[in-house]
Amino acid sequence: MQQAAKLTARGAATKARIVTAAADLMLERGAAGTTLDDVLAASGTSKSQLYHYFGNKDDLIRAVVRHQAQRIQQDQRPELDALDSLAGLARWRDKIVAAQAAHDQVGGCPLGSLANELAGGDQQTRSVLQECFAEWEAPLRAGLTAMRDRGSLSPEADPAALAEAIMAALQGGLLLAKTHRSSRPLARALDMAIAHVHSLATASPA
């Protein structure tokens, strides 16, 4: 992998095909449970192509992590950009619960599952995970900050802490949902988190 190379249109397409196939497989089998041969078969490529675009399996895994993070943000638009009101939070919640239910309750968070598996690994991969979570959390933190600055939330409310706690509820809710094959735990976790934001809302929304 000498990736400063040119990368023609065809090459880019092949690389994307590999990452997409790997992401799908790793979502349902985990990163360790997915073999490169599986990825090659699913993407219709060969060993040499994979090693042409990626240094090794870990490198591919990091690409998959970034891919899933992008996919999540894409899926959650435009709701992710309208988290500066209680109504906006409710819409985001509904979209997430609906998406989970649509997946037959199978497969938790594409990012959370990978994080769980890879957080104990090398520093490089963990850094990517941290960045991806931060990127995902940013719009939430921004929305809560806007609410506080506007006076919709109590001045004592800590947007950063709130956003992190909500993400934790989301991740835990998805894990329990996956385990129980039911979206109920996810719904309850998010409802609790949003109720907590409600309790910090001021009577007069400014």
Partner DNA sequence: CCATAACTGGACTAGCAAGTCCAGTTGCTG
Partner DNA sequence: CAGCAACTGGACTTGCTAGTCCAGTTATGG
Where do contacts with a copy of itself occur on this chain (CB under 8 A)? 28-30, 32-33, 106-108, 112-113, 115-117, 119-120, 126, 129-130, 133, 161-162, 164-173, 175-176, 178-181, 184-186, 188-189, 191-193, 195-196, 199
Cα dihedral 119, 120, 122, 126, rounded to 10, equals 20
* Contact stretch for DNA (CB under 7 A) within 39-47, 126-134, 155-163, 182-190: 39-47
Is residue 129 a contact partner of residue 118, using CB atoms and an 8 Å limit? yes
Beta bridge partners of 201: 153
35 vs 51: CA distance, rounded Å: 14
CB contact set of 119 (below 8 Å; sequence gap of 6+): 126, 129
CB contact set of 13 (below 8 Å; sequence gap of 6+): none
Of the pair 52, 91, the CB lying nearest DNA is at 52
What residue 6 binds from a copy of itself, DNA, none (CB within 5 to 8 A, per partner kind)?
Answer: DNA
Among 28, 37, 75, 94, binds DNA (CB under 7 A): 37
* Site residues, DNA (CB under 7 A): 5-12, 14, 34-38, 45-49, 51-52, 56-58
